[in-house]
Amino acid sequence: MDKHWGTWGRRSAGLGLVAVAAALLGGAALAQDGYPNPARQLRIVVPFTAGGSSDVQGRMLADRLGRLWGQPVVVENKPGAGGHLGGKYVVDQPADGYTLMVGSIGLHAAYGVYSKLTYNPGKDLRVVTVLAEMPHVVVAAPALPAKNLSELTALAKGQPNSVHFGSAGVGSSVHMMGELYKLQSGAPIVHVPYRGSSAALNDLLGGQIQLMFENPPTVLAHIKGGKLKGLAVTGKGRLAALPDVPTAAESGMKDYVATSWTTVAVSSKVPEAVVKKLSEDIRKVVNTPEFRKGLEEQGMSAVANTLPEADAFVAREKQRWDHVIAEGRISAN
């Protein structure tokens, strides 16, 4: 019996090695010769509503990748649950590299706010590259009697729970920037989650809420047009697109320095060869002068890091935002 078991075991091990080698070779062939296949539809899922920063970047990327690959790349918006409806959708698609996603802080670093997710973003999604990062703009309705962060904090403390800020959903970058401000300033402002930034912005413009901690592309035109006012930006320096809006540090909050970021992600089951092909081609696109200029015009900076660099970046950011979630006792359930 032992003899038979040993023979079977050796045969099984041999077959297993052959299978692994075949899978690796197949993945390499897929990336080098058959991917992307012009006969297959390539999709970029944006897990937020149309019109927001992630949507802008997704459509820029789809256009440039389509040019590089010589085939159309479509964008699909699948908002809800702070981006996790879209995240789960991507995980559930065939792991062939034809369904990409524009990820965010909420999907990769702040998913701890959800205790009942039906998937594990940290394990089920693979970050191909960090696409771009940007500071946020603390933006207010014109009627709010505050011109800067100091006045905002004083107003909120003097009238607790009277200032409401909107976000793209619990755990979204727009939400987390507001929670970081609350934690550092002690200002008792009230969070109002929406299905996406566009819906929150509509209520900000309509006066139903007073404040947002929004990505620059979404609010630049409204600030320049006088429909909203910028109180501060959360980066280390002022935005070239908003030179008159001070940094948070200039407004008296020296530690309120944070950026949000976007990724390109796929299911973690996508073959490694395809992931590497995607990483190389996306980085090639993002590092073109045309794409970098397009990002800069929207208040964003290109990142386009390698696979190991992206993994390390996301790990650091998750540790940071996990701390904010714990201190703020933030939960979506």
- Kindly report the CATH number assigned to the domain that includes residue 297: 3.40.190.150
Task: Give 152-221 as a DSSP string.
Answer: HHHHHHHSTT--EEEESSTTSHHHHHHHHHHHHH----EEEE-SSHHHHHHHHHHTSS-EEEE-HHHHHH
Task: Give 280-313 as a DSSP string.
Answer: HHHHHHHTSHHHHHHHHHTT-EE----HHHHHHH
Q: Distance (Å, rounded) from C-alpha 205 to C-alpha 139?
A: 11
Which of the 8 DSSP states describes residue 38? T
Q: Considering only CA atoms, which of 41, 28, 93 is closest in space to residue 69?
A: 41
Q: Distance (Å, rounded) from C-alpha 299 to C-alpha 262?
A: 13
Any domain includes 280: yes
Number of domains making up the chain: 1
Within 10 angstroms of residue 20's Cβ, the number of other Cβ atoms is 10
Q: What is the pLDDT of residue 33?
A: 53
171: left (phi over 0), alpha (psi -120 to 50) or beta: left
Question: By residue range, what is the domain housing residue 102?
Answer: 40-128+263-302
* 327 contacts 183 by C-beta, under 8 angstroms: yes
Any domain includes 3: no
Any domain includes 217: no
Any domain includes 171: no
- For the chain, the distance separating the N- and C-terminal CA atoms, rounded to the nearest angstrom, is 55
Burial track 198-233 (b if 16+ CB lie within 10 A, e otherwise): bbbbebbeeeebbbbbbbbbbbbebbeeeebbbbbb
Let me know how long the chain is: 333
Token pair 């299978």 in the structure block, residue: 19
Per residue of the chain (333 residues), what is the pLDDT tens digit? Answer: 444 444 444 444 444 443 344 344 444 444 445 899 999 999 999 998 888 788 999 999 999 999 999 999 999 999 888 889 999 999 999 999 999 999 999 999 999 999 899 999 999 999 999 999 999 999 999 999 999 999 999 999 999 999 999 998 888 889 999 999 999 999 999 999 988 888 999 999 999 999 999 988 889 999 999 999 999 999 999 998 899 999 999 999 999 999 999 999 999 999 999 999 999 999 999 999 999 999 988 888 999 999 999 999 999 999 999 999 999 899 887
Tokens of 209: 């809420």
Q: Could you give the 3-state DSSP secondary structure of residue 114?
A: coil
Instruction: Tell me the angle at which helices 307-328 and 173-185 cross, rounded to the nearest 10 degrees.
Output: 50
* 190 contacts 212 by C-beta, under 8 angstroms: no
Any domain includes 248: no
Burial track 308-330 (b if 16+ CB lie within 10 A, e otherwise): eebeebbeebbeebeebbeebeb
Strand order in the sheet with 229-233: 190-193, 164-167, 211-214, 137-140, 229-233
Q: Distance (Å, rounded) from C-alpha 110 to C-alpha 15?
A: 42
Any domain includes 64: yes
Any domain includes 188: no
CA separation (Å) from 185 to 22, 166, 169, 211, 217?
57, 18, 22, 15, 26
Q: Could you give the 3-state DSSP secondary structure of residue 254?
A: coil
Q: What is the pLDDT of residue 326?
A: 95
Cis peptide before 36 (omega within 30 of 0): yes
Any domain includes 102: yes
Q: Is the whole-model pTM more than 0.85?
A: no
